[in-house]
Each structure stands twice: as C-alpha cells, then as structure tokens.
Amino acid sequence: EQPGAAPGGCPRTGAGGPVPPLFSRQFATDPYPAYAWLREHAPVHRTVLPSGVEAWLVTRYADARQALADQRLSKNPAHHDEPAHARGRTGIPGERKAELMTHLLNIDPPDHTRLRRLVSKAFTPRRVAAFEPRVQELTDRLIDGFAARGEADLIHEFAFPLPIYAICDMLGVPREDQDDFRDWAGMMIRHGGGPRGGVARSVKKMRGYLAELIHRKRAELGEGGGDDLLSGLIAASDHGEHLTENEAAAMAFILLFAGFETTVNLIGNGVHALLRHPEQRALLQASLAAGESGLLETGVEELLRYDGPVELATWRFATEPLTLGGQSVGVGDPVLVVLAAADRDPARFDAPDTLDLTRRDNQHLGYGHGIHYCLGAPLARLEGQTALATLLTRLPDLRDAGDPGDLRWRGGLIMRGLRTLPVEFTPES
Ligand code: HEM
C-alpha cells in the first residue's frame, strides 16, 4: 500500500513524509506543490474533503484520463454511498432532487447519449463561429467601461460579466433581462453554489424565468421562431424525439453554469499567469501586433493546462469495485479527478511547471475527456482568445496594481479562480 494513502484518509508518514495539508489557505493560493507530492507518493489518494465527505483524488495524467473515460464511474449522485440522511449536506450538486439538476453532468448513458446528441444539434461549431462578432463587441464594450480610468478590477469589470452576457445572448435571453441573470449568477458564484438561502432563491427565480422563456420560445416556433440557441434546443429532434420543457430548462441551466465561472477563471487565471511571465506575454503581444493568431491559439491552450479554471473534474461514483492506479475503489466511493495535477504531470508534459505559450504537444485535460468532454469548448476558446487578445492590444502596458501577494483565490472545490484582479495601465485617450 502507498504511504500516505491509508484507508479512511488518515495522513500517514511514509517514504515521502506526511501528506501535505490539502484545502488550506496556502493550498488554495498554490496547490501545485501538494499535487506534485500526491502524484509521486499517493497518486490515487483517499482524503476527507472540507465538507466531511471522503473521496479519492486521482492526480496522475494516465490514471486521470482513464478514470474520465471509465463507464464504471457514474455521474449520477444516486450512486454515492453516503447515508441518505447526509444527502444535501455534502456539497455534491444534484444530491437534492431538483428538476434543473437532471443535466448532462449528472447523468449516464443512455440518457446522456440522447440529451448530448440533441444539444449538439443546436450548439454547433457554426453557431459558435457566427457569434464571433458579438463576442468582440461585448469585449470592447466592457473594456470601454474602464479604459479611460487607468485602473480596474479585471474580475468584476471584465472576466465576470463577459461570459454571462455572451451565453445569455446566445441562448436568446432578451437584453433587458440579462442583468437579472448577472445578479443570480453572482449570488451563486459568491456563495459557492450551496443549496441554501439566497442561492436557493436565485436558483428558484432562474428556474421560473427559464420555464416561462421556454414556453414563449416554443409558442414563437410556430411562427418561424428565433434563431437563438434556446429555440434551437426546443426545435432539435432526434428520431422524432424532442427535449421536454424540463429537460430544456435543465440544459439551459447547465449551459449557463458550466459556461460561466469556468470562463471567468480562464480569463482571470490567464491574465494572472501572463502578468507573471513577462517574456511569454511579450511574445504574445508581438505576435498579436503582427496580426498572427497561431500563438494566441496555442497560448490559450497552454494557459488552460498551466492554471486551468477546473481544478477537479466534477463528481464520479464507482458503480462496481475497480482498481485505479493500484488502489481498490469500492462501490459508491466518490472519485475526483484532479485535472490541475494531471496537467502538470512530468510523465506526460516536458517541463510541466513552465508556461510555454508555443507548446505544441499539449493534450491537456482542462476540458475533460471522454463522453463528458466539454460541450462548450469552442465557445470558451472564442471567448478566451478574444478577451486576452483585445485586452493586451488595447491596454498594452497592463500590470498588477497593489501587491500580488494579497491576491485571494476562491475556496471552492471544483473551480480554481481569483476573487479580484486589480490592474493598472496607461489610460486610453
Ligand atoms: C463539461 C471545462 C466552458 C459547457 C466540462 C468538463 C470540463 C469543462 C472539465 C467535464 C467535466 C467532467 O467530466 O466532470 C470547461 C472549461 C471552460 C468551459 C475549462 C472554459 C474555459 C464551457 C462553456 C460551456 C460549457 C462556455 C457552454 C456554454 C459544458 C457542458 C459540459 C461541460 C454542457 C457537460 C458535458 C457533458 O456532460 O456531456 N467543461 N468548460 N463549458 N462543459 Fe465546459
């Protein structure tokens, strides 16, 4: 048995010394040294999460890739072996029965196959590509809001609003209602998506709003309908089958949520990493000034690998006993694949702790792998590339304001991102 991987999550001293503290404040700031330790000494490690739930952490690239594609690991929280009375207090989304929670990230085949096929008919690469001018316009409008000031908080004024307006627009949420979405989403992000209080009220409001919007869009379909994504979702059919209104609402909800905080963090973590690597940033700025897009494309992939938005993939539960990285995983055990650790695995990436925007052989796991691979990756790439290119072009001397040591990371389990990112720059005249 590996050192440090005693059943029950009790840290043990072994060849590599004691397990480094996980989920501390220091860990939130820089989890990578602890992940390096786990990869080497306890690559499939059972631990107690801050919520009290025990789960396996998978940190090596090869194991992570295998686990993400392993159909014996279910996404359905009903397979979790926690006693029923503990449900809803574990922080596992979907454990409380809610209509909006029957979505792609909480279901397995054959339901997953059917829903994913239907949504893929509406969420097409063509629809995303056609959206490019709108993402550029949104990006410029947000930068206009602070460019003359010479300083800004890039999370609140830029990274946060951009994806919410983008996905609302794409879904076909009327502009006058989008600020409500911004408020509801802000509430959910600030409170980590927990099930109680203001968050529950926000989810309820959003559910009510979506139900009504879907109803309206369905009625409009008879008259030709809109060409927005929600209308596309309602109209999509597969062998004569359509989404039910509940399924459409759950789909809209997961598109909003899977596509929101992730993109905030892609922009936030990406800018943060570039400001800390002046030579890489200079390379990217030179390439943008020359009108090239190649380095921007490989660069955004590298930023996803180096410090991606999704630190741990979403929950999986063993439906039968299995062996993972030499460890026996029992039925009902939660398994968390640590994408951030896998993407720094020296067995897969040369110089994994080096940010290299030119990196070519870069099959990172930042968007996951297998049947749950990120549906929104084309939109995320479009938003990430547009945001970074426009920021660095319009505000070429962008720099940290204040002490970078004061930066605070959000303490969520799945996502990795900054609370604020104060910057300064020469004001645009
Ligand atoms: C799934 C990452 C943006 C929609 C996933 C997964 C990851 C991921 C890692 C798989 C989770 C798992 O297997 O447990 C990201 C990152 C993004 C991003 C890093 C931004 C940089 C988006 C956007 C959208 C989106 C913009 C939609 C508008 C989805 C959906 C799924 C998903 C619907 C579930 C797919 C399924 O279960 O079949 N994403 N995502 N994502 N993502 Fe993204």
Q: What is the pLDDT of residues 255-268, one digit of tens each?
A: 988 889 999 999 99
The token pair that represents 326 in the structure block: 């030499």
Residue 1 lies in a domain: no
Centre of ligand 1 from the C-alpha of residue 373, in Å: 7
Residues with Cβ within 8 Å of residue 103, at least 6 apart in sequence = 115, 250, 251, 253, 254
Query: Hey, whose CA ends up nearest to atom 4 of ligand 1?
Result: 376
The more confident residue out of 298 and 250 is 298
* Average pLDDT for 411-422: 91
Residues 289/290/295/296 CA torsion (nearest 10 deg): 40
Rounded to an integer, what distance in angstroms lies between the CA atom of residue 402 and that of residue 419? 14
The pLDDT value recorded for residue 83 is 54
Give the position, in ligand 1's atom list, of the atom nearest the Cα of 365. 9
* DSSP three-state, residue 73: strand
Query: Hey, whose CA ends up nearest to atom 26 of ligand 1?
Result: 259
The token pair that represents 362 in the structure block: 């870069």
Residue 2 lies in a domain: no
The pLDDT value recorded for residue 87 is 53
Is the backbone peptide bond immediately before 110 cis, with ω within 30 degrees of 0? yes
Residue 217 lies in a domain: yes
CB of 397 closer than 8 Å to CB of 426:
yes
Judged against a pLDDT cut of 60, whether residue 190 lies above it is answered with yes
Query: Hey, whose CA ends up nearest to atom 25 of ligand 1?
Result: 376
Q: In total, how many domains does the chain have?
A: 1
CB of 80 closer than 8 Å to CB of 216:
no
Residue bearing tokens 């004001």 = 427
The token pair that represents 100 in the structure block: 């909006």
The token pair that represents 413 in the structure block: 């389990």
Residues 238/122/260/80 CA torsion (nearest 10 deg): 10
Rounded to an integer, what distance in angstroms lies between the CA atom of residue 345 and that of residue 60? 6
Burial of 162 (0-12, 13-18, 19+ CB in 10 A): buried
The token pair that represents 255 in the structure block: 């598109």
CB of 14 closer than 8 Å to CB of 3:
yes
Q: What is the pLDDT of residues 139-184, one digit of tens each?
A: 999 999 999 999 999 999 999 999 999 999 999 999 999 999 888 8
Task: Residue count of the chain, please give it.
Answer: 429
Rounded to an integer, what distance in angstroms lies between the CA atom of residue 125 and that of residue 375? 10
Residues with Cβ within 8 Å of residue 17, at least 6 apart in sequence = none
Q: Which domain holds residue 414?
A: 7-424
Give the position, in ligand 1's atom list, of the atom nearest the Cα of 313. 14
380 lines ligand 1 (CB under 6 A): yes
What's the CATH number where 44 sits? 1.10.630.10
Q: What is the pLDDT of residues 14-58, one digit of tens each?
A: 567 889 999 888 899 999 999 999 999 999 999 999 888 999 999
Burial of 366 (0-12, 13-18, 19+ CB in 10 A): buried
Q: What is the value of pTM for the model shown?
A: 0.92
Assess: ipTM above 0.95.
Answer: yes
The pLDDT value recorded for residue 91 is 61
CB of 236 closer than 8 Å to CB of 242:
yes
Give the position, in ligand 1's atom list, of the atom nearest the Cα of 315. 14
Residue 171 lies in a domain: yes
* Angle made by CA atoms 192, 194, 197, in degrees to the nearest 5: 115
Give the position, in ligand 1's atom list, of the atom nearest the Cα of 105. 37
CB of 335 closer than 8 Å to CB of 92:
no
Residue 271 lies in a domain: yes
Residue 429 lies in a domain: no
